[in-house]
Structures are given as C-alpha cells and as structure tokens.
Amino acid sequence: MNNPTIQAILSRRSVRKYLSTPISDEYIQLIVNSGLYAPSAKNKQNWHFTVISDKETIEKINGLTMIGMEKLGIEKEEGYHVFYHAPLVIVLSSVIEGYSGLNAGCAIENMAIAAKSLGIDSCIIGQTRYMYHQANQVDINRLLKIPEGYEHDCSICFGYIDGDAPEPKPRKQDLVDYIR
C-alpha cells in the first residue's frame, strides 16, 4: 500500500548521527505546528515548546546534562553528546497533571513524524531531565525559557542523518490481543 503517512511512521528511527546542515525556518515551523496540533486531554494544551537552533545553548544543555549524569554516576561513552550534535533541539515542558505525559507523547510524536515526512530524522531524549540534578532549577528554566509552573518533560533533536538509517528494532508482537 502506497500510504506516505504510514510509511513515515514505520520508517521513523531514533537517529544518533547527524550532519550539521541546518533545518530551514519553513520546516521548523511545520514541525512545531504539527506538535501544537496534537490532541491533549480536555484540550488543555498544557505544554510549552522551546525551539533551539542556537548552537551555544545546545552545547550548554549538553554540558549541564553531562554534569548531572556524572553526579548521578551514570556512565557514558567517550565523546558522548546528548543530542548527537543535531542542529535543532526542541525542549518540551508541561504543567504536570494526570494526562500530561500522554499529551507530551502525542505532541513529540507528531513532530517526529512530521519531520520524517520532510526527510528529517530525530531522536527523543529523556536524559535532559538529568540537568536538574546539578544546578539551580530556576537558572535552567530561565536559560530554556520554561515558564513558571511548567516542568521539563523531555527533548527531541532533529537533523539530516549522517549515513544510513538504522534497522528497526524487532517489535514485540505478543503484546497485542484481539477481542473480535
């Protein structure tokens, strides 16, 4: 079946090697807008997006995350970069409520799929939460323009892939039951 949307969904991979090629403003807008059009429980839209293409800020977040990981004793490979040197990062924050994780997932996946349809790969990053284990939360939230009352959920980095897409990890098919 020639369905480009399902093709984008099935061919999305968590990509960990990027070219430095920047993403155009037009494409950034399409990606962000796709996130904004995600569903949210009771239409609360209780999320905040920080869209970062400034290399210096990306490096700052990487550094803060590294220090947090070190403090927590989490090992990482030599030369590890939390965003794999991707040129665009979106930090997602939420007013934490019963369904905020679910809402955030919908928003971030919309952005990943929209990007894929534009030939742009991505990786969802939970590790940026570790930033908060080393410094003043207020300072980090100021750096990332996270409004008061919002908590950092996760990040997603975007870029053009360097090399070939990884093979998909095998899916657990035994986790589907049918009631027909």
Query: Which stretches of the chain bind a second copy, using CB under 8 A?
Result: 1, 3-6, 8-10, 12, 14, 30, 32-34, 36-39, 41, 43, 45, 47-54, 57, 98-110, 112-114, 116-118, 124, 126, 144-145, 147, 153-154, 168-169, 171-173, 175-180
Place of tokens 């960990």: 16
As given in the structure block, the two tokens for residue 106 are: 């919908």
Shortest Cβ 41–a second copy spacing (Å) = 6
Shortest Cβ 137–a second copy spacing (Å) = 17
Contact present, 9 and 168 (Cβ < 8 Å): no
Contact present, 106 and 40 (Cβ < 8 Å): yes
Nearer to a second copy among residue 75 and residue 176 (C-beta): 176
Nearer to a second copy among residue 136 and residue 173 (C-beta): 173
Q: Which amino acid is at 137?
A: Q
3-state SS string for 54-69: CHHHHHHHHHHHHHHH
Shortest Cβ 10–a second copy spacing (Å) = 5
Which residues, other chains included, contact 39 with Cβ-Cβ below 8 Å and sequence gap of 6+? Answer: 103, 106
Shortest Cβ 52–a second copy spacing (Å) = 4
